[in-house]
Structure 1
Amino acid sequence: MTRELSTLPAVPVGLLSGSPQPVLLATQGLLLRPWEPADAPVFLSAYQDDEICRWHTRRPQTETRVLEWFDTYHQDWGGEKAGHWAVALKGGEVLGRIALRGFDFDDGTAGASYWVLPTARGRGVATSAMAALSTWALDEIGFHRLYLEHSTRNHASCRVATKSGYALEGTQRSAAVHDDGRHDMHLHARTRGD
């Protein structure tokens, strides 16, 4: 395919797919690592939690389906579409999920998303994971802008975004469907140099 842009890509194509998905270290003894088949039970159990279900309408129903998601996650990395990580203690216990999706290498943008298990809430786990992932994406890989969206009703997610250096840019009216209907969504972003 012939390139038709007058500018070079912000992130070189092939930079990520040419190497394995990295394990990233975060504060609080956390690491972000690719999902493994042994994680399927805890991943599935997360979607039994009322708060996770409240904010995430796409939900796996079986461990087999979770394993299919994990396969897709590995394909996303190889295809330079997204990166999906388990947020875990160095000892192995999974505490949550974090992802960068919608890679746009030309403009150097990607969208972040996350959830944490009930036992990990209020401990700064999501903030630590977001900080580590953002530093890697912006400073090591060369993305220019990372963004995240959450329901205006999700105050905990708003606090995580703000504490992670993602400035609130505005409200997208009636932008997403949740189980209880349409929600306005906050848009936060962090750019290189913030």
Structure 2
Amino acid sequence: MPSLVTPVMPTGSLNASPQPTLPVDDDLRLRPWLPYDAAAVTRAFQDRAIQRWHLRTADSEDEAEKWIEQWRRGWETESACHWAIADAGDDTVLGRVSLQSIIMAGGQAEISYWTIPEARGGGVCSRAVARVSAWALGEAGFNRLELGHSAMNAASCRIAEKTGFALEGVRRQALLHADGWHDMHLHSRVGPTARVPSLADPLGQRSPCRWLP
């Protein structure tokens, strides 16, 4: 069945070339994950905050290495893009930033991130998120990025605000955490050529959608 729209990102838009390393500032760079990063990932997932918001822990380096294999395959299959946030000097892994749940036809993805405790408070995460967002909505050709986080995660909300992700609403009781169901904030950024839709449909009727109380 033929589509009535042209894909925003045709097949091969990403994997036709190697995953890029993205410089952030003099002290940071975003690079593809490597097998020897497994030890750093295992240590990171012993942190209670990362466990709480990412809903998992790493029991061994072998398990972390399998995650890294999956992250690397994401670029090959154009289903996800995962970067290590690394110190530009000694290549120490400080965190992770990813574009996941990629929809090539619509040019859409979900951005996620974490940083190790030692890297928090200095803008490492917000700079990494801003850099990936600029690359995605610019050079890579994405149309829309979504950022979701628990309504209880104030730090993640600050990162969204700092990096230009507008709050669109609250997804009520949307994700089960270890301590129960959490409401989720939904933020987004769109590309510079995104069209602002009218409140009326093509027949001139006003949309019936309204914000929930």
**1:76 aligns with one of 52, 74, 77:** 74
Amino acid at match of 1:141: A
CA distance in 2, matches of 1:170, 1:184: 10
Amino acid across the alignment from 1:161: A
CA distance in 2 between partners of 1:64 and 1:19 (Å): 28
Aligned match of 1:21: 19
Structure 1 residues 1-194: aligned runs within 5 Å: 4-27=2-25, 29-91=27-89, 92-193=91-192
Divergent runs of 4+, >4 A: none
What are the ranges of 5 or more consecutive residues in structure 2 without an aligned counterpart?
195-213
Q: Which structure would you say has the larger Rg?
A: 2
Instruction: State the Cα distance separating 1:4 from its structure 2 match.
Output: 2.7
Shift of 1:28: 5.4
Instruction: Give the aligned residue type for 1:178.
Output: H
Which consecutive unaligned segments of at least 5 residues does structure 1 have? none
CA contact 1:97–1:116 (8 Å) conserved in 2: yes
Give the conservation status (yes or no) of the 8 Å contact 1:111–1:146: yes
Identity of aligned residues (%): 46
Q: CA deviation at 1:178?
A: 0.8
Q: Which amino acid aligns with 1:26?
A: V
Give me the TM-score of the superposition, normalised by structure 2: 0.87
How far does residue 132 in structure 1 lie from its aligned partner after superposition?
A: 0.5
Contact conserved, 1:28 with 1:128, CA < 8 A, in 2? no
Q: Once the 2 structures are TM-superposed, how far is the Cα of residue 74 of structure 1 from its aligned partner?
A: 1.4
Superposed CA deviations along residues 44-91 of structure 1, whole A, max 9, x for unmatched, are 111111111110113321100111111111111101000111001112
Contact 1:110 1:147 in 2 (8 A): yes
Deviation of residue 14 (structure 1)?
Answer: 0.6
* Other structure's SS at 2:66 match: helix
Higher RCO, 1 or 2 (CA under 8 Å, sep at least 6)?
1
**Do 1:148 and 1:187's aligned partners in 2 also have CA atoms closer than 8 Å?**
yes
Whichever residue aligns with residue 37 of structure 2, its letter is: D
Work out whether residues 81 and 99 of structure 2, in 8 Å CA contact, stay in contact via their aligned partners in 1: yes
- The secondary structure found in structure 2 opposite 1:65 is helix
Q: Separation in 1 of the partners of 2:116 and 2:184?
A: 22
**1:87 aligned partner, one-letter code:** I
Question: Alpha-carbon deviation of 1:27?
Answer: 2.8
Q: 3-state SS of the aligned residue for 1:135?
A: helix
Deviation at 1:22, TM superposition (A): 0.7
Rounded Cα–Cα distance in structure 2 between residues aligned with 1:94 and 1:71: 17
What is the SS of the residue equivalent to 2:138? helix
User: Match of 1:140, SS?
Assistant: coil
Could you tell me how far apart the structure 1 residues matched to 2:111 and 2:31 are?
16
Query: For 2:62, what is the secondary structure of its paired residue?
Result: helix
Comparing 3-12 with 156-165, greater Cα deviation is found at 3-12
